[in-house]
Structure 1
Amino acid sequence: MPDEKLTRLSDPASAIASYLDDLLHTATDSALLEESVVEAPAPEASPQVDEPPVPEPVIEKAPAPETPEPERVTGPQTELQPAASEPPSRPDWSGAPFECLIFTVAGLQLAVPLILLGAIHRVEEEIRPIPGSPRWYMGIRPDRDQNLRVVDTAEWIMAGRVPENARDNYRFVIRLDNSEWGLACDDVAQSFTLKPDEVRWRTARSKRPWLAGTVIDHMCALIDVRTMADLLVRAEREHHLDLS
């Protein structure tokens, strides 16, 4: 549900700054929550007081009862699986330095790992809209190899805080890995190498599951591409979009 307070922001720069600040807090709060789980300090020892020795009572020890051996389980073991809606706290590509590409959407900087960037297409032809589709769904971009489902990225990630006429500035579509989904964006900037410790990784994904973390030095949000694509597929099914 759109944030009523931020919906009233008339200045696009203020809306973008507020949203970026919210993203940074989302990642930082998640990390701080993990760091706050520490061991409680041991209680201080009470001062010793010299007391006269107390004779120990003589207690006859009864023989310990025999403990039966546990039964052997011969049937197959059931392996617990994580909930399908809960993405991993760290993507599998985050363990070593990786190349990233920055792109901009309505003044907001986002980043995707190059290993999961399917392609970059120019918006040269009009994207075919789908009747009855939600605001975040721009439509289909015909292609000789594969039709691409194009997302209004600003509406998808900044609902309620999107600057007016943001869609008019879209010039590129970034395809997510080998999926049929593409994110519309204004511009594509430079690529760079990121070390894992340069990212404030999230440890919980209950809010904005697509946000893997934030790159503080570049003031941008790092996208978990596979989770983003999964969320779009789920949203497509929920809205029963006719994509034929």
Structure 2
Amino acid sequence: MADKKMAQLATPDAAIASYLDELLHTATSSAQVQEPEQVQPAPEPKTETRTRVREKPAEIVKPAEIVTSEPAPVIEKAPPEPPTRPDWSHGPFECLIFTVAGLQLAVPLVLLGAIHRIEEEIRPIPGSPRWYMGIRPDRDHNLRVVDTAEWIMAGRVPAGARDNYRFVIRLDDSDWGLACDDVAQSFTLKPDEVRWRTARSKRPWLAGTVIDHMCALIDVRTMAHLLVRAEREHHLDLS
């Protein structure tokens, strides 16, 4: 039976569906964890009824006040206000789907800098993390290439995924590009055809999910910002 379950999980369709389900339920699962914690203080009134029998309950009331003051920091740690939706998402927009290790991703064409074919080997950088493939030299500028599967699906990347990369998609006017297997045709997408995210505590690069196409919609500017920050944290030598 275990072998049959593993075989089912290994299929591309099952892997994609499982990954998309996890993306969609990230925010809801975190909200459900916080609610039971506020119900636990219910048994405290029992201590108050016992202290009324004695004439010196004042010393017991003070600790009760200390206990009620503890939840205050929890309110201060509440998540910040959800970010506004991208400016390109308020009306119909053109979108491009590309494939990475069996997973379909989408980017808005308005923020697609260029599509480059991988014709020469990308120059690796010694000591770089697994998600960083290296530099793609170009006449105008050098493009930093990301192993997209390692960046967004760390721990779930199938063996040999990097060998299938044939294109690099440049993110807007940044120096970063996402390696991918294949590029499909563009199509027009309406805002109500996307399940937009209102919380970005996890995977902030995910703007939403296009259910009909079974693909994740990338927030290009946020993705580029995260890559720049990761570059600084790893002190990559890109000279």
- Across the two proteins, how many residue pairs are aligned to each other? 187
State the TM-score, normalized to the length of structure 1. 0.70
* Residues 6-155 of structure 1: pairs in structure 2 closer than 5 A: 13-14=10-11, 17-18=14-15, 20-27=17-24, 30=27, 88-155=83-150
Aligned to 1:52: none
State the TM-score, normalized to the length of structure 2. 0.72
Q: Which has the higher helix share?
A: 2
* Residues 216-235 of structure 1: pairs in structure 2 closer than 5 A: 216-235=211-230
Identity over aligned pairs, percent:
81
Aligned to 1:180: 175
Aligned to 2:186: 191
1:100 to partner: Cα distance:
0.2
RMSD: 2.6
Distance 1:102 1:114, change over 3 A: same
Q: Which of structures 1 and 2 has the larger relative contact order (alpha carbons within 8 angstroms, sep 6+)?
A: 1
Moved more, 21-30 or 207-216: 21-30
1:169 to partner: Cα distance:
0.3
1:185 to partner: Cα distance:
0.2
CA distance in 2, matches of 1:218, 1:114: 16
CA distance in 2, matches of 1:182, 1:87: 27
Give the secondary-structure state (helix, strand or coil) at the position aligned to 2:14.
Answer: helix
Judge conservation of contact 1:119–1:175 (CA < 8 Å) in 2: yes
Give the secondary-structure state (helix, strand or coil) at the position aligned to 2:126.
Answer: coil
CA distance in 2, matches of 1:236, 1:10: 37
Distance 1:22 1:210, change over 3 A: same
Distance 1:124 1:91, change over 3 A: same
1:30 to partner: Cα distance:
3.9
Larger radius of gyration: 1
CA distance in 1, matches of 2:13, 2:228: 27
Judge conservation of contact 1:89–1:205 (CA < 8 Å) in 2: no
Distance 1:12 1:191, change over 3 A: farther
Aligned to 1:166: 161
Write the letter of the residue equivalent to 1:219: M
